[in-house]
Amino acid sequence: MSDDTLFAEVLDGANRANPYPIYERLRRRPVSRQRDGAYVVSTHAAIRSLLFDPRLSSEDLPPSRRPRTGNPFKDWIINPLKNRVATAHRPLIFRDPPDHDTLRGFVMKEFTIARVNNLHGRVEALVDTLIERCRGRDEVCLVEDLSYPLPVAVICELLGVPEADEPQFHAWATQLATALEPDARRDEEARRATVTTFDAIAAYMRRLIRDKRRHPADDMLSGLARRGDRGEPAMGDVDLISTAVLLLVAGHETTVNLITNGMLTLLRHPQELARLKADPERAPRLIEELLRYEPPVHFRTRKALGAIEIGGTTIPPGAPVVLLFASGNRDPERFSDPDRFDPSRDDIQHFGFGGGLHYCVGAPLARIEAEIALVTLCRRLVEPRLMADPPSYRAGASLRGPSNLGIHIAGIV
Amino acid sequence: MRVVVDLNRCQGYAQCCYAAPESFALRGHEILFYDPAPPDEARARIERARLACPVRAIFVEAADLHAADVQESDPSKVDLPKVDRP
């Protein structure tokens, strides 16, 4: 197999359970050009330097295009306008400075330390309730029993989205998350589906934000929506909607992988599971190692704004650039014995939450959720055993994690 | 317990402020204030802050290290984490 098709192999679902040998082959060069013109960056040093390089843009999505309806008024007037607005007001994950920084600033003002840390007790209660529901069974389906419902309940509470509406936007969130997957981005039909989904969820958010303005509560959406009323600088309504959608989707599609990958890794390393059970104080370091060893997001795509010379390669202007975080995390030039899961290692400078100015906003929350979930699972599940290894995986190559993790248990304490 | 932050490395990610809010605070965008001698009961939170730092800028010297060893050791031989500089 030649090197310029290695990334296609990464995207191939057949390699989802173990993409790491492909990453190892990619790392023979820090940057490898693929046949489709994309440049894959796979070593820790090259990823690190590009994360801080202003010549890489996150505004890499093609312009949004709504499907034809047959109604000329819509097709020639309304939808082209909507397309322009939607393209100009992408969520901050797809924006560059200075707009990105302004939007992120608004989010950070509401993502306060107190608001995040106050969720601690709530997360503990949720985890206990979700585990309690498995009582009497000899099998836990971790994704549907805990890894998915926990972050969803937490993000709904934080944003102030009624959890009762969740079934409505469950499928929307899954569809919108494909904006991070190269295959879905290239596929015309998938992109149309994403646009249609965005319109549906945006309409939902618009109504919700209107309610929040009338009846503000102590949640992030109320805070973001009310800023303008108090005479402070505020986001425009379109940015407010796309930000709300981004936070909701991010809360749905990422932490689920961290928790499931975490339990999978612990079940594959029973001695570490036993150690964590005996000493929950090991959790913070174990979670950082987990973010290195099995990160929830494997790569992000950017676009080169100018020619970038790196690692003996020149990336031409306009080329898509894939920052393969999960490969940098396993780079033997940076980490000794990188393929070993070793929570006692101290030098864990991972890309589990990305890096640079797009560093994951939700990182502190993800850490809290993962720590409480894993510590409680280890304490309460009696004799947990994996039912299938490897488990089945969700479709995503970037947002990568099991679709189901069956765990055999002898009971719950 | 003694805490030192390498402010040349610090990039203002604010992860320490979430992990140990009583010991770290970010003013404005990137000015970090921190308690260089936090009380022992803050230990677990300080350790979380140290581990969560994306650029490994936080160094903790625990009281159970022998103060004499630290003072007498040759700074060039101190085993700091390996950092790759681009």
> Quick one: pLDDT at residue B82?
52
Cβ <8 Å between B54 and A359: yes
Q: Are residues A302 and A292 in the same domain?
A: no
Q: Are residues A257 and A320 in the same domain?
A: no
- A355 to chain B: which residues are within 8 Å by CB? 54
Question: Hey, what domains does chain B have and what are their CATH numbers?
Answer: 2-68 (3.30.70.20)
Q: Are residues A211 and A223 in the same domain?
A: yes
Q: Are residues A23 and A135 in the same domain?
A: no
CATH code, domain with A370: 1.10.630.10
Q: Are residues A323 and A285 in the same domain?
A: no
Q: Are residues A99 and A74 in the same domain?
A: no
Q: Are residues A237 and A337 in the same domain?
A: no
Whether B79 has a pLDDT exceeding 70, the answer reads no
Q: Are residues A226 and A116 in the same domain?
A: yes
- Taking the alpha carbons of A97, A98, A104, A108 in that order, is the dihedral positive or negative? positive
Q: Are residues A243 and A266 in the same domain?
A: yes
Return per-residue pLDDT of chain A as tens, 413 residues.
578 999 999 999 999 999 999 999 999 999 999 999 999 999 999 999 999 999 999 998 888 888 888 999 999 999 999 888 888 889 999 999 999 999 999 999 999 999 999 999 999 999 999 999 999 999 999 999 999 999 999 999 999 999 899 888 888 888 888 888 888 888 888 888 888 898 999 999 999 999 999 999 999 999 999 877 777 788 889 999 999 999 999 988 899 999 999 999 999 999 999 999 999 999 999 999 999 999 999 999 999 999 999 988 999 999 999 999 999 999 999 999 999 999 999 889 999 999 999 999 999 999 999 999 999 999 999 999 999 999 999 999 999 999 999 999 999 99
CATH code, domain with A22: 3.30.43.20
- A49 to chain B: which residues are within 8 Å by CB? 86
Cβ <8 Å between B47 and A355: no
Residue of B13, B52, B86 lying closest to A45 (CB–CB): B86
Q: Is residue A392 part of a domain?
A: no
Q: Is residue A34 part of a domain?
A: yes
Digit-coded pLDDT (tens) for B48-72: 999 999 999 999 987 554 444 444 3
Find all residues with CB under 8 Å of A51, minimum gap 6, and list them: A323, A351, A354, A355, A356
Greatest CA separation for chain B: 38
Cβ <8 Å between B84 and A334: yes
> Quick one: pLDDT at residue A232?
78
> Quick one: pLDDT at residue B84?
54
A99-110 and A237-253 helices, crossing angle to 10°: 70
Q: Are residues A13 and A145 in the same domain?
A: no
Cβ <8 Å between A349 and B19: no
ipTM of model: 0.91
Q: Report yes or no: A31 and A310 within 8 Å, Cβ to Cβ.
A: yes
Domain coverage including residue A249: 95-296+358-386
Q: Are residues A329 and A367 in the same domain?
A: no
> Quick one: pLDDT at residue B66?
44
